[in-house]
Structure 1
Amino acid sequence: MSEQSGEDSETFEALLRYLRDARGFDFTGYKRTSLMRRVRHRMDQAGHDTFEEYLDALQASADEFAALFNTILINVTSFFRDPQAWDYVRDEVVPTLLAERSPGDPVRVWSAGCATGQEAYTLAMILAEAMGVNDFRARVKIYATDVDEEALAEARTASYDAKAVESVPPALLERYFESANGRHVFSKELRRAVIFGRNDLVKDAPISRIDLLVCRNTLMYFNAETQRNVLGRLNFSLARRGVLFLGHAEMLLSHTDRFTPLNLKHRFFRKAASTAITGAHYHAAVMTERHDEAPGLASIRDLAFRASPVAQIVVTGDDTVAMVNQQAESTFGLSVRDIGRLLWDLDVSYRPVELRGYIEQAKVERRSTRLPDVCWQRPGADDVWFEIHVNPLVDGENGLLGISIVFFDVTATRALLDKVVRTNSQLETAYEELQSTNEELETTNEELQSTVEELETTNEELQSTNEELETMNEELQSINDELHTINDALRERSLELDETTTFLDSLITSVRLGMAVVDRQTRLMVWNRGCEELWGLRADEVIGKPLASLDVGLPVEEVKPLLGRVFVDAELLDEAVVDAVTRRGREARVKVQCSAFRAADGSINGALLLMEVLTPAAQDAGVRGT
């Protein structure tokens, strides 16, 4: 096929936008070469030559859209596809997963891109074999998702022909399938643990706290930018030490900050250690950040939060309730005893509105979500209307600290608006019925207009006040984040310096020869243990003193020429054998080697002296003694 022209490329992008905007399927993140090839394949089958002509056909026929969708999404799947990889799941991944958890802990698995369900049911059989059917039913949830509704409908039936189950081991086929009308139906006991649902990996919120995530041969269809986006969502989905199972063509060699290889041959990866502060670590971090504040600020801040007239709940990154103010307690029947519980254990997590999806979205996208006009219908009481704000709390490096959920009671505002609407209706009726009282009606209308203007003025003032408070809050948060960042940097620099000093001290101490370093003025900078043993002076007695001022048995005048020569020639290694007297008063022949002591930029900062007592044999033969 000839190279794609610019005009064809534009019409192809228009076709993709139509699929996204009119049909709700976003293929703009797919690799253009393979995507265009599949669209052209369907165009050839349908008898269309240009993308523009095919776009007209899609707009006119819903059936053609379904055919295109099935062509693009190649639902190639089977039970135990790539048997060696599934053997690794059975023999290594699942036993490790179960060993790392208590006997009663839930096990959460996600089959992303499950097609017609064979992959999800394969996972169910492996887990049931490892745990036993009863334990499997009590603990395991397998979430199986795809964007193809037709494939999901087929997966829910769990019914397969003889060819589809050829790859199932005979023992498992007999144990977990029932024969019906010439087809094989998966076990109802295990099927209840498999939850099918539509999920678009590119734009829908991911499922959280997943222990094993299977996403095979899906990433390879996306371009690099979309892959990064999807991998960020998959990384968020995984629990700590969660495992990601990819297809044989997917490597993740450029995403080592998110995943570490577990078995590259079979494409298993483990979630990399996270830097996000969650749970108890969140509270510890907050206490650390506020430790050095002026007395009373923390209590003032806590009292202000508690006394706020707007109901507010703060949860940590792992969905644990961290803070609840008094308005939230009175509105939703909470108490201080609920702090430390999971939000999902409280009624407020789903009443007046299900919050899970919005909280997960805030975690992934790091941006606030506003839910207007949420009605809470309470039995035996008037309806209450809320505007709910779900705000991610992030640190200076965009790490997630928690989520703030604020419930603004807008019941009075809605009642006022309803009242204005009713008043306008009454005025319109009166205007029609009482034409003769037009002047009086105009006066009334002016009064109403004045009232509206006053309300608008009041609303603007309130809005201005709210913006000022929000600005102050952001400034305080920014200052707090900066102090925390500076403190971390200083602590890291101190640790690095301590490690470097310890390493250098160990290195110098480990040199068995006498080693001394002098600066350009021949003042001693280093005096190791070998020198102490040889000449009898400790390092703290000589550091900073000129070499010539030492009262030891080393003939310094014979050493000085060595220093002078290496100060001139940085590449020179000079040496001399001198007669000396050791700290024990014994005469000895000492070999002194001298070389330049250079800085990182190559400049000469001093000289390095190595001193060794020669044995009689070494003195005669000119070799070093042992």
Structure 2
Amino acid sequence: MRVVTDRDLLEPGVIYVVPPNRDVMVTETEIRLHEDGQGPHPSIDLLFTSAAEAFGESLIAVVLSGTGSDGAAGAREVKFAGGTVIIQNPETAAFPGMPLSLAPSIVDIVANLDRIGELLDTLVMEGFDAPPVSEQTQLQTFLDQICEHSGIDFSSYKQPTILRRLHRRMVATGQSGIPEYIRHVRNEPAERQRLISSFLIKVTEFFRDPELFTHLEENVLPELIQQAEARGEDLRIWSAGCATGEEAYSLAIMVSDLLREDEAAPNVRIFATDLDDDAVAFARRGIYPARSLRNLPETMVHRHFVKFGNDYEVSKHLRSMLVFGQHDLGQRAPFPRIDLILCRNVLIYFTPALQRRALQLFAFSLRAAGYLVLGKSETVNPLAEFFAVDEPRLKIYGRIGDRVLFPPSRMHDITPGSSSPPRLTGPLRGVQPASPGREPARARIGLSDAVHALLGVPCGVVVVDRDYDIHYLNSEARRLFGIHTTALDQDFVHLIHHFDARAIRRAIDRVAATGTPAELILQAIDSPTDARRTVSFTCSPHERGDGRELTLFVLSAIDVTEREELRQRHAVAENDVGRLVTANEEVLLANEELASTILSLRSKNEELLVSVEEIQAATEEVETLNEELQASNEELETLNEELQATVEERNTTNNDMRARSIEMQEVAAEAESTRQQLRSIVDGVEGAVVVVDADGVVVLENAAHAALLASNEDAVMVDSSHQPIPVGELPLQRAARGEQFLVRFAFGQSDHEAWYIATGNPRTTADGTALGIVTIREESGSS
């Protein structure tokens, strides 16, 4: 342990202690004191920021119990540099202010204090080396499933980055290896979303990219406000991928400032959505550390934020504009009739298919002449026919073209245990899985036995043992089952492509149980209908000749596609011949009937000719009506889409209302607790105490006052001359009017009554509420 006096070289195994009220900075080689007269000392933000610049992805930042929000801004820099951020669990922290000030999107691990040391040891000592060959294919298949479920494109990520971020989640969940973590994700679906979030850099800030927001404020928003006023409708904005809410609140601030002096201002609805539930919950709170506002003008902070301890809370007039909700661009319906959409630095993470779907959602959502804003590395090229470039440098596009239908959800869940063969892509392609914990099959059974089992079989042949491990397969079997790797000693069932692997496994199991061969017809399941192949599959047991118990199974497969097609065509032809014979008999009977009716038809021909014009006119009317019905049907389809989108909007609004209701209940509970504390205090005050509001309603009274009123319930209050005090001059009424007074009174008109002194003092609460406080004590010496 060493105290830093000026500067010192960084050495392993040394704990550096910073002197009180001094700041410190870290470089790649040294730690040194830093003079800075602003903010708390020592500054955690300065320490984290300098360390992030020096060490990048290798840095681990830990935020423990404490008050204030120092460290929140520095932790953002750590996350942006690719480092790891760990916080103490706020529920167990003595002072949870500092851990809670960090946005969920920048926190990698939340842990109790007694576990943080173990986590640091695991992160530092185990590292993030490449997994063994036996786990690489399993990992790649798992990443492919994550990509297919979420639409996140991992092809742009380097393999060390993938492994490093995966390792953090493994450590956070206490999983020792990749297979264990994959099982954990399948059992805990919420962990899959946490893993996806760990791959996305969602660091944001208020008015990020000032040039863009200046252009929106000066050019785009005034135009949209004017259009909304002309329509007499709401101004509707959508921040898609809002993260922790800074972008959405920045939009609200601009709109609020533009509408401040507009008497005809339209109602404003800003929808702020993100896939991450934790990020949405943080944004919905609307509380940010002071350093998050450091780049905002002081006048803007004063207008739109309220001091909340060491942090700042978004003002109510700003919060009322926004509706926060969890929303998946790959699954959910869009919001309709939107004037402006901001979706910055979101599409870059998507696969091309999901990019196109997201742009189609935006095209549906935007009004004609609405605007779409993308990130600097994003483009509308996947759906360029519906967007025109408005400001190319700032990536602002205008909505053009016809109305579009929003696409159905294309994503589907990847269920655990799926029998679909894995599709290997990316950096781990080409590595085949081994059967862990088992002795290679060829060590137990000689290759000559496997070859002997194949003698006389002129088709696709595979020899497997009871564990489905391959001992031999010929080239025809490789072609039929789509096996293009070494395959020996591998699990045959899991290597099968094109056919139902479960059916083949059941056949092997049945032969193993009964000892008799099994046959079945298999049809390819992943090829176009007109290109599917049919295979006759046979499984037979083959006992070893040396008396050992281990049994081989000879699997033969013959391509019978042409034979099956001929059989099917023959069956169809026979069916057609039968139908033709029946039809011919019916035609003969019909000819006889036609011959007898030809004369009558000729006589009626003239009548039919006369009615042709009427029929033609009726036909045209039917065609016109059909056109109208088609137009009505399209209109109904459009209305149905808008209703679906409106339901989605209302669901999001309901979630927001429920969150606000919970906040109001918490405030009411806190107020009731405060009231009980005040009652306990005034009950201990000597004499009677009562507090009334401007309407004369009793807000608070102690037990002495309640007892005094109860004992003189029917008595008349009189003054020093034994005259009844008028109702309007009673102490409580004078206190309600805000008067300050001192009055002597008694209950009843007898000289033997006790005399009291009532003192009135007006007070005003912090929120401007006027109250009157009356204190009543018995006059000393009165009987």
Shorter chain as denominator, the TM-score bin is 0.3 to 0.5
TM-score (norm: length of structure 1): 0.43
Give 1 or 2 for the bigger CA radius of gyration.
2
TM-score (norm: length of structure 2): 0.35
